[in-house]
Amino acid sequence: MTTTDTKDTLQKFIFDNAAVRGELVEISDTWREIQARHGYPKAVRTMLGEMVAACALLSANLKFNGSIVMQIHGDGPVRLLVAECDAELRMRATAKLAPDVDVADEAMLGELVNQHGKGRFVITLDPLEKMPGQQPYQGVVPLDGDDVATVIENYMLRSEQLDTRIWVAADDKVARGLLLQKLPRHSGAEDQTRQASEEDDLETWNRAAALGQTLKREELLSTDISTLMHRLFWEETIRVFDPLHPQFHCTCNREKVGNMLKMLGQPEVETALAELGELGINCDFCGKHYSFDKVDCAQLFASDTPAGALIRPSGSTH
């Protein structure tokens, strides 16, 4: 197998003459990078991997240059799962567990994040260039479903009024997924034509979804996406687009870490400084280390200077 064969790939396609679109994704290098500094329990790894695949699939729904952040806030042994993807398919993800928990290998979504029914699924759509005063769009819903795919399908139907079917699976090597979506038809055509085409759409949609439904978890884990495409849809007339390539990328920087310290408040930071002499913070996503000594922290709270101004030019002499 050559390197190009193993490159992380997202393949978009549409069904000819029907308002139905699809995507297949397989993520291995990026997924390995995400797991590199963490030893997640098996069930947590599976769920995070499924979110990574789903997040890449949903990023195609972005209608602007920005990023999609998918979070599950849990009330069980897993407190938080985050997957992020921007319009160029640059991704990062992480999971936070409650201290000293034992997670069974086969634990399901409900046991991991929704033990008391207080788990939440949050999608944030964050445009890169915001209008003045514009906030990122955020949708928050209860965890309606027994797995990641069902939670997202229910969210898409409720919030976006889009019929979406998602199949995702992940192990330690790969996160792979299929998305099918029935698109709204914007038609100015005569009523009869429109009705006919809507029936066609529905028929194609039902057939495609039934084909997707034959996909088993093991098959999804063990089969590359071009084989899956052929195996599932060989009888369909499908148009495929140029493949896209997800990759790992972390957006952390010193300014953001400084802002986080500012949000903790001066008393808290000073207490920690007195105890430790210097504050060391590791990025949860990429493991990068940031340190803030007494001088750095004093500067943080000295004025309303944005923390960005505190970035010390490296290698410069002033």
Q: Shortest distance, CB of residue 92 to Zn ion, whole angstroms?
A: 7
Query: Min. distance of Cβ 160 from Zn ion in angstroms?
Result: 30
Nearer to Zn ion, 70 or 112 (CB): 70
- Tokens standing for 2? 């050559």
What are the DSSP calls for 58-96, one per residue?
HHTT--SSEEEEEEEE-SSSEEEEEEEEETT-EEEEEEE
Q: Which amino acid is at 202?
A: L
Binding piece for Zn ion, criterion CB under 5 A, among 58-66, 149-157, 194-202, 278-286: 278-286
Q: Which amino acid is at 120?
A: R
Contact between 243 and 10 under an 8 Å Cβ cutoff? The reply is yes
Beta bridge partners of 164: 181
Q: Please, which residue, 205 or 248, has the CB nearer to Zn ion?
A: 248
Is 69 a binding residue for Zn ion by CB under 5 A? The answer is no
CB 33 within 8 A of CB 71: no
Closest CA to 170 of 67, 80, 59, 35: 35
Q: Binding residues for Zn ion, how many (CB under 5 A)?
A: 6
The one among 15, 285, 290, 292 contacting Zn ion by CB under 5 A: 285
Q: Does 286 bind Zn ion (CB under 5 A)?
A: yes
Cβ distance to Zn ion smaller for residue 141 or 281: 281
- Structural element, H or E, at residue 313: none
Which element (helix H / strand E) includes 102? none
Of 165-173, 187-195, 271-279, 283-291, the segment contacting Zn ion by CB under 5 A is: 283-291
Alpha carbon of residue 21 to chain centroid = 20
Give the integer Cα–Cα distance in Å for 169 and 178: 9
Q: Is 252 in the site for Zn ion (CB under 5 A)?
A: yes
250 in contact with Zn ion (CB under 5 A): yes
Nearer to Zn ion, 40 or 285 (CB): 285
Please, which residue, 202 or 286, has the CB nearer to Zn ion?
A: 286
- Structure-token pair, residue 40: 């997640």
Least Å distance, CB 70 to Zn ion, is: 17
Closest Cα partner for 176 from 218, 210, 235?
Answer: 218
Q: At a CB cut-off of 8 Å and minimum separation 6, what does 307 contact? A: 254, 255, 256, 257, 258, 259, 262, 300
CB of 282 vs Zn ion, minimal distance in Å: 9
Smaller CB distance to Zn ion: residue 303 or 314? 314
The least CB distance from residue 253 to Zn ion, in Å, is: 8
Length of the chain equals 318
Nearer to Zn ion among residue 217 and residue 288 (C-beta)? 288
Helix then strand then coil, in percent of the chain rounded to 5, is 40, 25, 35
Lookup: tokens for 12: 């978009």
Taking the complex as a whole, how short is the minimal distance between the CB of residue 192 and Zn ion, in angstroms?
56
Q: Is 281 in the site for Zn ion (CB under 5 A)?
A: no
Instruction: Please report how close the Cβ of residue 2 comes to Zn ion at its closest, in angstroms.
Output: 30
Is residue 205 within the footprint of Zn ion (CB under 5 A)?
no
The piece of 104-112, 130-138, 250-258, 300-308 that touches Zn ion (CB under 5 A) is 250-258
Q: How far is the CB of 13 from Zn ion (least distance, A)?
A: 33
Minimum gap (Å) between residue 251 Cβ and Zn ion: 7
- Rounded CA gap, 55 and 49, in Å? 10
Which of residues 179 and 283 has its CB atom nearest to Zn ion in the complex?
283
Q: Is 283 in the site for Zn ion (CB under 5 A)?
A: yes
Note the residues at the interface with Zn ion (CB under 5 A): 250, 252, 283, 285-286, 288
